[in-house]
Amino acid sequence: MERTTGSIDGNHYETVIIGAGMSGLAAGIRLAYFGKNVLILERHNAAGGLNSFYSFQGRKYDVGLHAMTNFVRSGTKGTPLGKVLRQLRLERESFDLSEQKGSRIIFPGVELQFNNDFELFESEVIRAFPHEKDNFAKLIELIRSFNEVALDNEETSARVEIAKIIKDPLLIDMILLPLMYYGSAQENDMDFSQFVVMFKSLFFEGFARPFEGVRQIIRVLLKRYKELGGQRKMKCGVKQIILDKDQVKALELDNGDTITADKVISSAGLVETLRMCSDHPTTTGNDNIGRISCMETTTVLNKEPSEFGWEDTILFFSDQAKAEYACPKNLVDPRSGVVCLPNNYQYGEGRTLEEGFLRITALANFDKWTQLPEEEYQASKKEWHQVLLDKALHLLGTKTIQDVQPHVITTDIFTPRTIKKYTGHLAGALYGAPHKTRDGRTPIKDLFICGTDQGFLGIVGAMLSGISMANLHILQPSS
Ligand SMILES: Cc1cc2nc3c(=O)[nH]c(=O)nc-3n(C[C@H](O)[C@H](O)[C@H](O)COP(=O)(O)OP(=O)(O)OC[C@H]3O[C@@H](n4cnc5c(N)ncnc54)[C@H](O)[C@@H]3O)c2cc1C
């Protein structure tokens, strides 16, 4: 039974977690499992945070989930997915994961295929870049031996480190693009530890998706949390973290109530959390607000993508040999992006999604989108949807939009404005702050960060972050 009361003296908890995203839910499960009196506070009425879903005109859309990275097959030892399942005491079958069919990285004149068997990617790199065969082997050796999760790793540039080994700039960009798109808060680069995390999670491990999408994972996490007696309050945001000197004293909620806690773990973001603290100026962390945000369009079709000849699961593309991954000058930069076809997973005999989905993600400028008056905002959404759709169809080999248009049932679009609204992330920053707090500590005693700004990204990464921070700061605080 989920505890409805059970706080120590009415409004005091051992641990309060801010946010019911993947990291907050995982931290909550871990603490509830060990009998802690834990409360999750979430500003919205839906759990999942960046990886959630919404209903629009009777249809459920996934936000976030293109692919669950870090997929490994049953029995593979020593990987993040196994650790998450073990630490949360969950059966892997409960996520109902199906593997990708296959994906591609497309640059001008060259493409690399990959799937959940690393050998394919390795052979593709050697085929397209034979002159880099030995260097690529050296890079792989370095990645395999690197401890990317050590909390005291120094921040270093992945570009600089890779360029010490790989000489062809095109190969460097082709390797980096998907990893940046799925987990870099920095423009045109990423921290080397983060690079290794992402390389392993995309290329050594791989992509999978629950048949029912992200709601399957959220449902499992909520059920587990409830079974263990964890408490949560939805539509209940934290307005202010009240400090006594440099220690958490209480939390003031959006509805004016006050609660107290021995320790607080926040998944709201590093800068966002510090700005919630009383006495902290609203300019705190101005130099650590992420600039990477995106627009995503979903086209719903009355046919399976494979009926149009589209067999890929995910495409990462760049129109230029030197890929651009930075906040664009215009509303959207269509020169690079990600195309995702959620139908193209190996769901098994007789299991097909009811409709076809084509999702396209491209980088977008938060300031420009938020400055638009409402009418222009709506018109720009439509305009950019068309630009991105044309682009995706071209990549997928469909010559004219007329082949597809009659099969379009509906479309939906989100922008950086939507990301800010539903997650609270400043500047609609997809992957939060460029500089993370890897050990989760803040300058405030008993206030810790988990999730995006602790530095483990993606669904599995965020859950692992919640688990690690709960273990480190609450369950084994002496370490
Ligand atoms: C467009 C997009 C596509 C993505 N695609 C994928 C993908 O395909 N595969 C993948 O593995 N990962 C993907 N990710 C990344 C993944 O979604 C995130 O890394 C992960 O979900 C982050 O989880 P989190 O718990 O750290 O933070 P969040 O999901 O941001 O959760 C934080 C929660 O805190 C709440 N909150 C904030 N402030 C307050 C407050 N003051 N009071 C109460 N509650 C508050 C928010 O409402 C939110 O629910 C994607 C992300 C985006 C945005």
Kindly state the average pLDDT of the residues 344-354. Answer: 94
- The residues near 420 (Cβ < 8 Å, ≥ 6 apart) are 366, 370, 426, 427, 428
At 48, is the secondary structure helix, strand, or coil? strand
- Tokens 């460029």 correspond to 434
Q: Is the CB of 43 under 6 A from ligand 1?
A: yes
Best mutation site among 50, 52, 431 for ligand 1 pocket (most ligand atoms within 8 Å of CB): 50
On average, the pLDDT of the chain sits at: 93
Q: What are phi and psi of 423, to 5 degrees?
A: -120, -15
Measured CA to CA, the distance from residue 415 to residue 381 in angstroms comes to: 8
Atom of ligand 1 nearest to the CA of 44: 47
For 238-264, write each residue's pLDDT tens digit: 999 999 988 999 999 999 999 999 999
Measured CA to CA, the distance from residue 450 to residue 327 in angstroms comes to: 25
For 61-65, which contacts have Cβ atoms below 8 Å and span 24 or more sequence positions?
61/298, 61/412, 62/213, 62/214, 62/215, 62/342, 63/214, 63/414, 63/422, 64/214, 64/459, 65/209, 65/213, 65/214, 65/459
Measured CA to CA, the distance from residue 174 to residue 325 in angstroms comes to: 12
Kindly state the average pLDDT of the residues 98-115. Answer: 98
- The residues near 217 (Cβ < 8 Å, ≥ 6 apart) are 22, 51, 68, 95, 210, 459
Q: Ligand 1 centroid vs 355 CA: distance in angstroms?
A: 26
Q: Is the CB of 260 under 6 A from ligand 1?
A: no
Q: Ligand 1 centroid vs 51 CA: distance in angstroms?
A: 5
For 326-336, write each residue's pLDDT tens digit: 999 999 999 99
For 169-215, write each residue's pLDDT tens digit: 999 999 999 999 999 999 999 999 999 999 999 999 999 999 999 99
Whether 8 has a pLDDT exceeding 50, the answer reads no
Q: Is 145 in contact with 283 (CB distance < 8 Å)?
A: no
Kindly state the average pLDDT of the residues 150-155. Answer: 86
Measured CA to CA, the distance from residue 342 to residue 293 in angstroms comes to: 22
Measured CA to CA, the distance from residue 322 to residue 330 in angstroms comes to: 19
Whether 162 has a pLDDT exceeding 70, the answer reads yes
Kindly state the average pLDDT of the residues 289-302. Answer: 94
Which residue's alpha carbon is at the smallest distance from atom 36 of ligand 1?
19
pLDDT of residue 478: 59
Q: Is the CB of 381 under 6 A from ligand 1?
A: no
Whether 3 has a pLDDT exceeding 60, the answer reads no
Q: How confident is the model at residue 7 (pLDDT cuts 50, 70, 90)?
A: very low
Closest CA to 177 of 341, 336, 359, 388: 336
For 52-101, write each residue's pLDDT tens digit: 777 777 777 777 789 999 999 999 988 999 999 999 999 999 999 999 99
Q: Is the CB of 267 under 6 A from ligand 1?
A: yes
Q: Is 265 in contact with 448 (CB distance < 8 Å)?
A: yes
Which residue's alpha carbon is at the smallest distance from atom 38 of ligand 1?
268
Q: Beta strands of 223-328 (E only): which ranges?
A: 231-233, 238-244, 247-253, 258-266, 293-301, 314-318
Pairing of strands 332-340, 314-318: antiparallel
Closest CA to 356 of 392, 394, 323, 320: 392
Measured CA to CA, the distance from residue 42 to residue 19 in angstroms comes to: 5
* Alpha-carbon dihedral angle through residues 454, 456, 458, 460, given to the nearest 10 degrees: -120
Q: Is 125 in contact with 168 (CB distance < 8 Å)?
A: no
Q: Ligand 1 centroid vs 405 CA: distance in angstroms?
A: 33
- The residues near 35 (Cβ < 8 Å, ≥ 6 apart) are none
Atom of ligand 1 nearest to the CA of 422: 47
Atom of ligand 1 nearest to the CA of 460: 11
Closest CA to 392 of 280, 278, 470, 310: 310
Measured CA to CA, the distance from residue 24 to residue 27 in angstroms comes to: 5
Instruction: Give the residue, 45 or 479, on which the prediction is more confident.
Output: 45
- The residues near 267 (Cβ < 8 Å, ≥ 6 apart) are 17, 18, 19, 21, 23, 24, 27, 49, 449, 450, 451, 452, 462, 466
Alpha helices in 88-168 (DSSP H): 118-128, 133-145, 158-163
402-432 burial string, b = 16+ CB within 10 Å, else e? eebeeebeebbbbbbbbbbebbbbbbbbbbb
> CA end-to-end span of the chain, whole Å?
32
Q: How confident is the model at residue 10 (pLDDT cuts 50, 70, 90)?
A: low
Q: Ligand 1 centroid vs 241 CA: distance in angstroms?
A: 21
Kindly state the average pLDDT of the residues 462-472. Answer: 97
Q: Which residues pair with 295 in a beta bridge?
A: 362
Q: Which residues pair with 333 in a beta bridge?
A: 363
Atom of ligand 1 nearest to the CA of 466: 25
Instruction: Give the residue, 403 or 122, on which the prediction is more confident.
Output: 122
Which whole-number Å values give the CA distances from 319 to 66, 146, 182, 244, 295, in the listed order?
21, 32, 18, 53, 18
pTM of the predicted protein model: 0.94
Which residue's alpha carbon is at the smallest distance from atom 27 of ligand 1?
21
pLDDT of residue 479: 46
Pairing of strands 208-210, 97-99: antiparallel
